[in-house]
């Protein structure tokens, strides 16, 4: 057994495989997520049928995507304000996908996180799962001197959520199958905010979108931000990243 895994078990931390896929095509990332989810669900199905207790893996993936708009299963297509030619002009793609939520944008400079976790290894509460991911982003923003929070009735992380200056800095949309998660969050770090002008972000037409770079006035070191966020996620979920 891997020494790191042994240490995790000894300290009651959940072994979680971390990977940074870098700049990855959206469809490729979606397919890889589906593959990881299906393999984990297959193990859970085998355990149930055979009355076995084979451990299931947990994965935490970070990446960035080329310009792409994605529409969740409860979303409204009219919230995309571009036609086919407009998408070509923006060098962007468009996908209808199987996560929750409405429409959002992904692009270079945005930190996308895909936890493919068996929540039976953590806690079987999807609302707590979302709130915990939000808290990790809130703590990361606090590391940069930015106070963030939640907007009642919506997922994600917001700045000035209690007044007319409310603006979203991190969107979330997840899918859960047999308590195995996929999709995740999109944290605006150095992203080009102009691309959000082509959608009604998450179906909310009266709130602004922001980024860490926009708030601080300078471009961030993505690896530094990834390191901080990764550590906060691991701490809150009691993970041992391997």
Catalytic residues, which ones?
Answer: 202
Query: Is 184 known as a binding-site position?
Result: yes
| HSE-up (13 A, CA, CB side) for residue 161 | 17
Query: Is 186 known as a binding-site position?
Result: yes
- Cα(149)–Cα(167) distance, integer angstroms: 11
Query: Is 105 known as a binding-site position?
Result: yes
User: In sequence order, what E strands does the chain have?
Assistant: 14-23, 59-64, 68-71, 93-96, 103-106, 110-116, 157-159, 167-177, 180-188, 208-209, 239-241
Query: Is 103 known as a binding-site position?
Result: yes
Query: Is 101 known as a binding-site position?
Result: yes
Query: Is 102 known as a binding-site position?
Result: yes
| HSE-up (13 A, CA, CB side) for residue 48 | 7
For residue 20, list its beta bridge partners. Answer: 62
Indicate the burial class of 78 (C-beta count within 10 angstroms; 0-12, 13-18, 19 or more): exposed
Q: Which two tokens stand for residue 211?
A: 């980024």
Query: Is 42 known as a binding-site position?
Result: no
Contact at 8 Å (CB) between 117 and 180? yes
Query: Is 106 known as a binding-site position?
Result: yes
**Residue positions in the annotated binding site for substrate?**
99-106, 171-173, 184-186
């Amino acid at each position: 057994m891997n020494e790191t895994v042994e240490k995790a078990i000894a300290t009651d931390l959940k072994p979680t495989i971390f990977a940074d896929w870098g700049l990855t095509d959206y469809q490729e990332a979606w397919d890889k997520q589906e593959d990881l989810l299906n393999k984990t669900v297959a193990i859970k199905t085998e355990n149930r049928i055979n009355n076995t207790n084979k451990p299931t893996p947990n994965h935490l993936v970070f990446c960035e995507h080329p310009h792409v708009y994605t529409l969740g299963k409860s979303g409204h297509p009219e919230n995309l304000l571009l036609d086919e030619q407009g998408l070509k002009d923006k060098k962007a793609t468009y996908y209808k996908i199987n996560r929750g939520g409405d429409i959002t944008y992904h692009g270079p400079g945005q930190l996308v996180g895909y936890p493919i976790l068996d929540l039976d290894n953590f806690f079987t509460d999807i609302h707590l799962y979302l709130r915990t991911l939000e808290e990790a982003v809130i703590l990361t923003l606090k590391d940069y001197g930015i106070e963030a929070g939640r907007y009642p009735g919506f997922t994600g992380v917001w700045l000035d959520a209690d007044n007319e200056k409310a603006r979203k800095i991190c969107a979330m949309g997840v899918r859960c199958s047999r308590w195995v998660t996929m999709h995740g969050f999109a944290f605006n770090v150095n992203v080009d905010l102009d691309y959000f002008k082509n959608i009604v972000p998450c179906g909310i037409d009266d709130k602004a979108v922001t980024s860490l770079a926009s708030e601080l006035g300078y471009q961030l070191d993505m690896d530094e931000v990834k390191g901080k966020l990764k550590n906060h996620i691991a701490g809150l979920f009691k993970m041992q990243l391997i």
